[in-house]
Amino acid sequence: MLQFEKKYIPNYLTVLRFILVPIIFSLIITEKYIPAVIFFFLANLTDFLDGYIARKYNLISDFGKLMDPLADKITQISTILALIIKGIIPYWILVILSLKELSMIIGATFLFKKKMVTVHSKWYGKAATVLIFITIIFTLLSEIFTNLSIITPYLYYISIGMTLFAGVMYVKNIICKEF
């Protein structure tokens, strides 16, 4: 039998986020938007808590360093994909976010293999994540409260802009560190 260990609480929270992904996806597909908001919020709460607990109690692990950002991106991308499938948002949003994330993964892999740099999250990356979170919440709620749909396109423009800004800043910081 598996034994619960306090030192793995951040990792348990990350795994919980992976478990929530198909639940959120299916809730959106079946147009159960309020439960989708609740589970999406819960997934993002686990993201905040695992980072907070890991830093506060020095429980940072290699598993967490790798899987936490992966869980974040899978949660975001799968939620956005469900919204696209339902025809709620245009596909170009996923294309831009996916290209940015793919370029970050390729760059990080290249740098990791060369042992050149370790990239840590910065304020602009966190801001982009928070903006996407808020935008997705507004999108889901706008399916129930239609007057919110006036705001959501602008939230996507701001979120995408911040995401691209974060990508540019990460590249700039990496280049400046290396040269």
Over the stretch 70-92, which tens digit does the pLDDT of each residue have? 898 899 999 999 999 999 999 99
Q: Which of 5, 127, 121 is nearest to 65 (CA)?
A: 121
105 residue type, one letter: I
Reply yes or no on whether the pLDDT at 43 is more than 60: yes
Helix spans in the chain (H): 9-29, 33-56, 62-85, 92-113, 123-142, 152-178
More confident residue, 172 or 81: 81
Domains of the chain in start order, with CATH, are 6-178 (1.20.120.1760)
The catalytically annotated residue of 47, 50, 68, 72 is 72
DSSP calls for 44-96: HHHHHHHHHHHHHTT---HHHHHHHHHHHHHHHHHHHHHHHHTTSS-THHHHH
Give me the pLDDT at residue 99, please: 87
Residue 31 has pLDDT above 70, yes or no: yes
Contact 47, 17 (CB under 8 A): yes
Q: Taking all residues of the chain, what is their mean pLDDT, rounded to a whole number?
A: 88
Q: Give the pLDDT confidence of 92-141 residue by residue, as tens digits.
A: 999 998 888 887 777 767 766 766 555 567 899 889 989 999 999 999 99
Active site residue 72: yes
Beta strands in 12-102 (DSSP E): none
